[in-house]
């Protein structure tokens, strides 16, 4: 039990052997050990956020990668001391099931692949984290939740902001009505994403552009502050650069109505910068600005600035929460069912853009 898994892996790798840690000290059984994470897809988010974040996690660690690009595999092996035996391709993905070092498979693929790989990971008997947006549709998302339940594995959606200190405070201020009942939320996220080659701009691969990618955070923020789901939405889609944004809305504005009587108003865009959440309540207001980016938030209230230490990576707490949920067999804050909530809203927003009418959230 004193063997450090990383050191064991190093030895294993140095020996050129495919020696695996004995199953008797597999992490799920050894509460004190870190759970092993396999990152699937080594794009910018894995490279800049998840890989580095996993160097800070207390309850899990990076043990394996899945990539279709040999040069990436080489780079990551060196950078994170991952043995060749723990480097997979999409062809060998299903062999993850035979690797007892891997407890968690983290799907960081383009959106249209989320469902397929989440379900395959669940079938491999591994716990799954899937990046947001969780799926291309509510139906697809539900199939992912169902698959994980059927396989008896836990499922988290990669909602890093569920664990960010300024957001947690905003959620508390709203739900505990510290400034009284929240009446209005304005929250928006946009930045320039004008690369027509990106899968994010492809409707079949990205699922709908800025709304599902960035707007999701703005809508999530509103429902988390209010602690309730919207019942009705209205929405407007814009495309002023159709030569770049083909078949998707470049920008979307939408409004949500909540059972408490609160309303919210939002902007999202792939062509301009905005990053803020403001909540107006009976006796004051609170605001995060910047709010939703992965680098860090800042905040203020009608009483003055908020002060919280910004963690090196928001995903540290996210992944550790999931690892602890597994170790202690409890729920993760960002369960897959949370992802379904935003998919339900997103579908209503797209319906509202098309209909021009008030649409119920299904």
| Distance in angstroms between the alpha carbons of the first and the last residue of the chain | 50
Q: Which is nearer to a second copy, 44 or 240 (CB)?
A: 240
Q: How far is the CB of 207 from a second copy (least distance, A)?
A: 22
Q: Which is nearer to a second copy, 112 or 238 (CB)?
A: 238
One of 183, 199, 294, 351 touching a second copy (CB under 8 A): 183
Residue 222, judged by CB atoms within 10 A of its CB (0-12, 13-18, 19+), counts as buried
Q: Which is nearer to a second copy, 159 or 258 (CB)?
A: 258
- In the set 117, 159, 217, 249, the catalytic residue is 217
357 is catalytic: no
Task: Pick out residues in 278-337 that bind a second copy (CB under 8 A).
Answer: 278, 280-282, 285
Could you say whether residue 189 binds a second copy (CB under 8 A)? no
Binding track over 243-282 against a second copy, x by CB under 8 A: --------x-x-x-x---x-x-xxx-x-xxxx-x-x-xxx
Q: How far is the CB of 191 from a second copy (least distance, A)?
A: 9
Q: How far is the CB of 245 from a second copy (least distance, A)?
A: 12
One of 45, 112, 238, 308 touching a second copy (CB under 8 A): 238
Q: What is the rounded CA–CA span in Å between residue 255 and residue 260?
A: 15
Q: Which is nearer to a second copy, 55 or 272 (CB)?
A: 272
Query: For residue 50, which phi and psi values (nearest 5 degrees)?
Result: -70, -45
**Eight-state DSSP code of residue 335:** B
Tokens of 327: 């170790």
Strands of 104-107's sheet in order across: 87-88, 60-66, 35-40, 104-107, 127-130, 155-157
Task: Pick out residues in 32-71 that bind a second copy (CB under 8 A).
Answer: none
**Eight-state DSSP code of residue 20:** -
Q: Specify the 3-state DSSP secondary structure of 140.
A: helix
106 is catalytic: no
Q: What is the rounded CA–CA span in Å between residue 92 and residue 86?
A: 11
- In the set 132, 154, 327, 341, the catalytic residue is 132
Long-range contacts of residues 46-51, Cβ cutoff 8 Å, at least 24 apart: 46/108, 49/294, 49/313, 49/315, 50/106, 50/108, 50/315, 50/319, 51/76, 51/79, 51/80
> Active-site residue numbers?
132, 217
Applying CB under 8 A, the residues found at the interface with a second copy are 183-184, 186, 188, 190, 234, 236, 238, 240-241, 251, 253, 255, 257, 261, 263, 265-267, 269, 271-274, 276, 278, 280-282, 285, 356-358
């Amino acid at each position: 039990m004193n063997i450090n898994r990383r050191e064991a892996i190093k030895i294993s790798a140095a020996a050129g052997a495919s020696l695996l840690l004995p199953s008797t000290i597999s992490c799920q059984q050894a509460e004190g050990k870190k759970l092993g994470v396999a990152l699937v897809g080594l794009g910018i988010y894995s490279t800049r956020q998840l890989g580095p974040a996993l160097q800070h996690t207390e309850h899990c660690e990076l043990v394996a990668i899945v990539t279709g690009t040999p040069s990436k595999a080489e780079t990551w092996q060196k950078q994170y001391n991952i043995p060749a035996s723990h480097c997979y391709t999409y062809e060998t993905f299903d062999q993850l099931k035979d690797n007892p070092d891997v407890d968690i498979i983290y799907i960081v693929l383009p959106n249209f692949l989320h469902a397929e790989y989440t379900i395959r990971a669940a079938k491999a008997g591994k716990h799954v984290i899937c990046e947001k947006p969780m799926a291309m549709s509510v139906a697809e998302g539900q199939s992912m939740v169902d698959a994980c339940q059927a396989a008896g594995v836990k499922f988290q959606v990669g909602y890093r902001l569920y664990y960010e200190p300024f957001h947690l405070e905003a959620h508390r201020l709203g739900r505990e009505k510290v400034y009284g009942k929240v009446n209005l939320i304005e929250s928006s996220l946009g930045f320039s994403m004008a690369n027509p080659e990106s899968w994010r701009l492809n409707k079949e691969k990205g699922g709908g552009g800025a709304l599902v990618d960035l707007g999701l955070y703005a809508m999530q923020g509103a429902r988390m502050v209010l602690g309730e789901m919207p019942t009705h939405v209205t929405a407007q889609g814009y495309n002023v650069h159709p030569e770049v944004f083909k078949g998707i809305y470049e920008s979307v504005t939408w409004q949500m109505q909540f059972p408490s009587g609160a309303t919210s108003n939002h902007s999202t865009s792939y062509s301009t910068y905005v990053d803020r959440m403001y909540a107006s309540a009976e006796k004051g207001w609170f605001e995060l600005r910047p709010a939703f980016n992965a680098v860090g938030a800042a905040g203020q209230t009608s009483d003055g600035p908020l002060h919280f230490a910004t963690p090196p990576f928001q995903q540290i707490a996210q992944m550790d929460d999931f690892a602890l949920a597994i170790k202690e067999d409890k729920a993760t804050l960002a369960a897959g069912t949370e992802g379904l909530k935003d998919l339900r809203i997103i579908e209503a927003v797209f319906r509202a853009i098309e209909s021009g009418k008030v649409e119920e959230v299904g």
